Amino acid sequence: MSDIHPPLVDDFFNHLKFEKRYSQHTLRAYLDDLTVFFQFLKSQFDTAEPKAVTSAMVRSWLASLSVQKIQPRSINRKISSLKSFYRFCMLKGHVSASPLAAIKVLKTRKRLPSYIEESQMQQLLEQVEFSDDYSGRLQYLVVAVLYHTGMRVSELVGLKAMHVDTTRMQIKVLGKGNKERIIPVHRDLVGELEAYRAVRIDLEHAADRVEFFLTEKGKPLAARYLYSVVKRSLSLVTTADKKSPHVLRHSFATHLTGNGAELNAVKELLGHSSLAATQVYTHNSIDRLRDIHRKSHPKG
């Protein structure tokens, strides 16, 4: 057994990585949560054996997290990680029951997704001037694709050139759990994609790369590059606190629902596994309607 966590955690990690094909960010979160949990067990109960864990031990751990002022949302994520681990242990026959069976998640305030106003995105994509060289074209396209498709960072970084079909005006995306989905592309964006493809072909090593988006040196993009480009670009049109690629995904979904798109259609475009994850965007639409009503209606 490892000094940090039992071998079963490594088995679980490999299951998530190779079978579930979770992103590196998600894998790291699971591993961190489980490592902290088993370190706590070792220090408080002198055991790190999954079969020895009881509900009382789990509750003791959760109580210690609360004492450390860990937010309920973060604690719930750790509970979810532990539940997933024990589902895996039960599936493999390592334990007969989960000590998490009676553990309930904590109540949290519903946090609405941050998004950028449509007018601000229009200003960014239609009025802000990006440089006319390869770097500028790439930066513009990264922002435009994230906003027009609602892709996740990992999906854009891993987007294959063969999956960008400008003839059919669509992009095939490989999402969480290795699930594929098709996202339609507006004709204006199609033109930008074709123009980029024409200059991409001249990059060094471009012919050897399957990724659609490449740096000037012909290498795949890094996630940190996307965060840097999006933050710098959004700073030109908004003073919003959050300026990340995921905010563009939220903006994509919020603007769709605000303009009357069916929730099931938005769910499919985002690659959500359940409608519950998509329904949060209707709250933004309702809040916006309330604000319009308050400002515009004589009895508002």
- Which domains, ranges and CATH numbers included, belong to the chain? 7-91 (1.10.150), 118-296 (1.10.443.10)
Write down the catalytic residue from 17, 176, 197, 242: 176
Residue 21 annotated to the active site: no
Q: Which of 160, 176, 163 is nearest to 213 (CA)?
A: 160
Residue 281 annotated to the active site: yes
Three-state DSSP state, 9:
helix
Average pLDDT over residues 252-259: 91
Tell me the Ramachandran region of residue 165: left when phi exceeds 0, alpha when psi lies from -120 to 50, beta otherwise. beta
Instruction: Give the model's pLDDT for residue 2.
Output: 47
Residue 272 annotated to the active site: yes
Instruction: Determine the angle formed by the axes of helices 134-149 and 118-126, rounding to 10 degrees.
Output: 150
Q: Judge contact between 228 and 210, C-beta under 8 A.
A: no
Q: What is the pTM of this model?
A: 0.67
Write down the catalytic residue from 15, 94, 160, 246: 246
Give dist(CA 249, CA 152) in Å, integer. 7
The amino acid that residue 140 corresponds to is Y
Whether the pLDDT of residue 296 is over 90: the answer is: no
Write down the catalytic residue from 200, 249, 250, 267: 249
Q: pLDDT digit string (tens) for 270-291?
A: 999 888 888 888 766 656 656 6
Instruction: Give the model's pLDDT for residue 23.
Output: 87
Write down the catalytic residue from 5, 200, 250, 272: 272
Residue 288 annotated to the active site: no
Write down the catalytic residue from 152, 200, 250, 255: 152
Write down the catalytic residue from 22, 30, 115, 281: 281
Question: Which of residues 286 and 263 earns the better pLDDT score?
Answer: 263
Instruction: Give the model's pLDDT for residue 292.
Output: 56
Residue 176 annotated to the active site: yes
* Residue 1 binned pLDDT confidence (cut-offs 50, 70, 90): very low
Q: Judge contact between 52 and 8, C-beta under 8 A.
A: no
Of 1-10, 65-74, 208-217, 254-263, the one with minimum mean pLDDT is 1-10
Residue 69 annotated to the active site: no
